[in-house]
Amino acid sequence: MDWQSTPEDTVPSSVVSEQNRLAMLGRPPVTGAWRDGDAPGNRRFETIDDLVLESGVTLSRPRIAYETWGELDADRGNAVLVLHALTGDSHLAGPAGPGHVTAGWWTGIVGPGLALDTDRWFVVAPNMLGGCQGSTGPSSFGPDAVEWGSRFPHLTIRDQVEAQALFADRLGIERWAAVVGGSMGGMHAIEWGVSHPHRLERLAVLAAPAVSSADQIALNTVQGEAIRMDPAFADGDFYDADDGDGPYRGLALARRMALLNYRSPDELNARFGRSWQSEISPLGGPGRFQVESYLDFHGNKFTRRFDAGSYVTLLGAMNSHDVGRGRDGVEAALNRVTARTLVLGIDTDRLFPVADQEQIARHVPHALDGRHATVISSHYGHDGFLIENEAVGGHLRRLLAS
């Protein structure tokens, strides 16, 4: 559930004020979702069969947007499913351009000669159900040609994985060579291993838990409330706002709150300290700390590529996550996993700490490093799985070679 690592985040903090000024030019759109009629970019689309949700609601023939890299073997045995985090999408690799507001979020991992070597593997990345980059979600048009908005049903992680399984059926892929996911995508990945053990040979769960804790649910809840409290959210039915004023204030605030969970305290302190953005003394009048400007920039940028309705929907799905629900508990559920499994944690992750990954590694039968999680060291906290390409890529290579 993490921001996409972009060049803007690596520039000196003294430049952030200018970036922030440019990001603020013009009102953000009502929604940053990809909409029908927009340039498709590299997306493909697949309509799946009717999906009966855990709530009992039937979602009629939802659409899944996806991208692929590499070539599928004749025996369809080299397909790798990559599942994105909360604010990710199907654009794993490739430049920004028409249809893609940002460059690929895992360009250091996916490509020829990289850890997910597209000369060997057929890599498939769907936008999750409920998302806002081409798959059916709150910003999509319902059967009556009006955006779903508040009518969009509640989703669970299991619902989203079932949609992914139906999507795999449409592609004719009976068994994945590997299923890989980080953060919210890691929730999907472990759910794949539990609910469809016969359909994957290898599994990579990166910086994700087996069950969302009370602390994690609380963090999600306050982000959702930040959006709901924005009057422009209109209970989720904001897409036809007469004045073009969408709930960008609440969405930007939710994003700023989330970023504090994704990065480590040491990284923020070392990068910004108590530096001020201007010459104004902190004791002499109004002014801004550089870290404030940094958060504002990313919050404002986020409103141009994401949808408030999807954000609320996906937070609810994350809160539902519990592989042990209805399966005699977490330990019994994890024992169902038959795939060779990489369980990777990050030593500075304060969102999904290493203890979460240790719980998974203790109980899946074929963890790559025995009964312990594989732990990498990173200055970046939870976002390390997006940034530490050498370390993460090395462990993915180990898994794919096994």
C-alpha 227 chain-centroid distance: 18
Q: What's the mean pLDDT when you consider all of the chain? A: 91
In the predicted structure, residue 11 carries a pLDDT above the cut 80: no
- Please state the three-class secondary structure of the chain as a single string: CCCCCCHHHHCCHHHHHHHHHHHCCCCCCCCCCCCCCCCCCCCEEEECCCEECCCCCEECCCEEEEEEECCCCCCCCCEEEEECCCCCCCCCCCCCECCECCCCCCCCCEECCCCEECCCCEEEEECCCCCCCCCCCCCCECCCCCECHHHCCCCCHHHHHHHHHHHHHHHCCCCECEEEEECHHHHHHHHHHHHCHHHECEEEEECCCCECCHHHHHHHHHHHHHHHCCHHHHHHCCCCCCCCCCCHHHHHHHHHHHHHHHCCHHHHHHHHCCCECCCCCCCCCCCCEHHHHHHHHHHHHHCCCCCHHHHHHHHHHHHCCECCCCCCCHHHHHCCCCCEEEEEEECCCCCCCHHHHHHHHHHCCCECCCCCCEEECCCCHHHHHHHCHHHHHHHHHHHHHC
Q: Note the pLDDT of residue 276.
A: 79
CATH of the domain at 168: 3.40.50.1820
Neighbours of 287 (CB within 10 A): 14
Residue 2, domain member (yes or no):
no
Least confident residue range of 21-35, 76-90, 263-277, 375-389: 21-35
Q: Note the pLDDT of residue 259.
A: 93
pLDDT in tens, 115-134: 999 999 999 999 999 999 99
In the predicted structure, residue 49 carries a pLDDT above the cut 70: yes
- List Cα–Cα distances, 15 to 27, 122, 220, 265, 380, in angstroms: 22, 39, 30, 21, 20
The yes-or-no answer on residue 183 being catalytic is yes
Least confident residue range of 154-168, 234-248, 322-336, 375-389: 234-248
Which residue in 349, 363, 378, 395 is the catalytic one?
349
How many domains are there within the chain? 1
Which residue in 183, 195, 310, 320 is the catalytic one?
183
Q: Note the pLDDT of residue 20.
A: 43
Q: Note the pLDDT of residue 21.
A: 46
Residue 20, domain member (yes or no):
yes
In the predicted structure, residue 299 carries a pLDDT above the cut 60: yes
Residue 65, domain member (yes or no):
yes
Strands 63-69 and 116-117: unpaired
Neighbours of 366 (CB within 10 A): 14
Residue 235, domain member (yes or no):
yes
Which residue in 100, 321, 382, 395 is the catalytic one?
382
What's phi and psi for 164, nearest 5 deg?
-65, -35
Q: How confident is the model at residue 273 (pLDDT cuts 50, 70, 90)?
A: confident
The pTM of the full predicted model, rounded to 2 decimals, is: 0.92
Higher pLDDT, 73 or 278: 73
pLDDT in tens, 197-219: 999 999 999 999 999 999 999 99
Residue 1, domain member (yes or no):
no
Q: Note the pLDDT of residue 280.
A: 56
* Domain with 220 in it: 7-401
Residue 260, domain member (yes or no):
yes
What's phi and psi for 242, nearest 5 deg?
-60, -35
Percent share of the chain, pLDDT over 70: 91
Strands 374-376 and 116-117: unpaired
Place of tokens 């991992």: 109
Q: How confident is the model at residue 286 (pLDDT cuts 50, 70, 90)?
A: low
Q: How confident is the model at residue 356 (pLDDT cuts 50, 70, 90)?
A: very high
Residue 250, domain member (yes or no):
yes
Q: What is the dihedral of CA 197, 202, 206, 209, to 10 degrees?
A: 20
Least confident residue range of 9-13, 54-58, 393-397: 9-13
Q: How confident is the model at residue 288 (pLDDT cuts 50, 70, 90)?
A: confident
Q: Note the pLDDT of residue 8.
A: 35
The yes-or-no answer on residue 382 being catalytic is yes
Cβ atoms of residues 294 and 13 within 8 Å: yes
